[in-house]
Each structure stands twice: as C-alpha cells, then as structure tokens.
Amino acid sequence: YNSPKINVWGISDKDLFLESNKVLSNQSKPFFAVIQTADNHRPYTIPATDIDFEKKEINKDTLMKYGFSSIEEYNGFAYSDYAFKTFIEAAKKEKYFANTIFVFVGDHGVEGNAKAMYPDVWTNNRLSDEHVPLLFYAPSLLEAKQYDKAVSQIDVMPTIAGLLHQPYLNTTLGRDVLNTSTKNNGAFIIHHDEGKIGWVSDSFYFVKNIRFEQEELLPVLSNKPYWTSVEEAAIKKRASAFTTAFYETAKWMLVNNKAR
C-alpha cells in the first residue's frame, strides 16, 4: 500500500478501505474479500490529515454511562463509522458495487458496564463481551429491514450463501438466519477462562459451568424472570441438553469435519 503507517496496527482504517477499493475495482471475476479494521482499538489513532472527521468532547459521566472508558475510545469508535462511510461512498462509484453484498460484523464486544442500556445480565454475565453489530448492505439486491433476534458469527457464512441464491453444502453449525424456516434463534457462547458454556436466545441466557456442573437461567429482556418455576425447570432441561450437545459436537467437528 502507498498509505503511511500511523501506529502499531499499520495504516488507518480509512486508507485501508480506500486501498482495498482499488484492488476490488480491478477484479474481473466474482470475488470474496475480507477487510479487518483496527482503529477501534488502542491507541485510537486518528490521522491529522482527516480534517473532515470531527472529534467530539463528551463529559466523563456520559461516556461511562454508555460504556466508553475514555473520550479517545469514543472518538476511535466514531472514526470507524467515518471510515465505513468513506469506503461505501468510494465503492458506489465502482462497477462492482451494484452486484456486491457488503457484510459488517464485529469480532467481539467490549466488557464493561452496560446497565444504562441493557438488563443486568449483559454486564454481570459478560453478554456485552459477545454483543456485536451485523449488517448486510446491498441496496440493489436487498430491501432495508431490521431484525431483532439472537444470531451468531458462525451464522454469517451460511446467510451469505443463502443471499447468493446458489446451491451450497453447509457442514457447519451455523445457519441462514434470513431463511424463514429457520427456528431456535440463538447463539452458543463459551468463556474458556471461567469454564462456562451457554446459549443465548431471544429471551433468555442459559449458562452452564462445565467444571462444577452449575446451571443458571437468566432473562435478557428485563432484570426479573418472566417464567414460572415450572417453566424454568422445563427451559433449563431443554437448554442444558442443547448447549451440551452443541459443545460436544463442536469439539468433534474440530477433528472430524474435513474439507469436502
């Protein structure tokens, strides 16, 4: 790349996108490309040359309320949005844009106090660590729509395959989340350091400690359970069996799910 390195991560996200756009615009065949950004990470460097990006000044209490540890982190977050916008504006001028699906997804969330925005379980049980955006953007191919359901990173590839309307073989645990026949919305979660596995659905978070055989069922939409004790026992039983099966299947697939 011709762009200057700005910190330990390399060139800025904006420059990375613009350099990538040059590469993509020169492709003569269908392509699959991955661009990994870094500016929403310390040291949150914002190039002085990006004079059209406006840094904000926000008081500390407001920053903390919405999960930011510093103004630098907030502006780094905002700079990522600025870089995405710059990329899309540049891509719109290229021939590949109209026939391309752009997918934006986070690699991980941020641990911190999210109680101003979400029920306590998101903070106390680290769901904010796992919470990331997922956006499919292709204005010539997809209508604007918002979905409110629990999905996982492993669902991204099957969903892309479904959007392409091409035959494909799915040998993963992911699913096409836009397929209307898909049921059991949710995502598997594992915290290796704590020895915990879990399943988060649209309404609950089931978590199981595989070291001590402890199980919890927690609401994700409020701070109080919205089920009876009888319903809780039934949900726990199903969720425990499903979560354990998912975990064991994933371990088996690491060795046995060969490329085809």
Residues 11-46 pLDDT 10s: 999 999 999 999 999 999 999 999 999 999 999 999
53 within 8 A of 46, measured Cβ to Cβ:
yes
Tell whether 171 is covered by a domain: yes
Tell whether 235 is covered by a domain: yes
pLDDT at site 84:
98
243-260 confidence digits (pLDDT tens): 999 999 999 999 999 988
Tell whether 163 is covered by a domain: yes
Tell whether 184 is covered by a domain: yes
Tell whether 220 is covered by a domain: yes
* Confidence check: pLDDT of 111 > 90: no
For the chain, the straight-line distance linking the first and the last C-alpha, in angstroms and rounded, comes to 35
Tell whether 39 is covered by a domain: no
Q: What is the mean pLDDT of residues 73-98?
A: 98
186-230 confidence digits (pLDDT tens): 999 999 999 999 999 999 999 999 999 899 999 999 999 999 999
What's the whole-model pTM score? Answer: 0.93
Tell whether 63 is covered by a domain: no
33-81 confidence digits (pLDDT tens): 999 999 999 999 999 999 999 999 999 999 998 889 999 999 999 999 9
CA angle 153, 27, 6 (to 5 degrees): 65
Of 243, 129, 251, the residue nearest 197 (C-alpha): 243
Report which DSSP code applies to 258: -
Domain range spanning residue 169? Answer: 148-260
203 within 8 A of 220, measured Cβ to Cβ:
yes
Report which DSSP code applies to 157: H
Which DSSP helix (H) or strand (E) runs through 255? helix 229-256
134 within 8 A of 151, measured Cβ to Cβ:
yes
The residue ranges of DSSP E strands in the chain, in sequence order, are: 102-105, 134-137, 187-191, 196-200, 204-209, 214-219
222 within 8 A of 204, measured Cβ to Cβ:
no
SS3 of 3-67? CCCCECCECCHHHHHHHHHHHHHCCCCCCCCCCCCCCCCCCCCCCCCCCCCCCCCCCHHHHHHCC
Residue 134 φ then ψ, to 5°? -140, 115
Domain total for the chain? 1
Tell whether 170 is covered by a domain: yes
Which DSSP helix (H) or strand (E) runs through 236? helix 229-256
Beta bridge partners of 207: 198, 216
pLDDT at site 115:
92
39 within 8 A of 77, measured Cβ to Cβ:
no
Report which DSSP code applies to 190: E
Exposure of 221 in the CB half-sphere (CA atoms within 13 A): 10
* Confidence check: pLDDT of 131 > 90: yes
152-196 confidence digits (pLDDT tens): 999 999 999 999 999 999 999 999 999 988 777 899 999 999 999
pLDDT at site 112:
83
Q: How far apart are CA 234 and CA 228, in angstroms?
A: 10
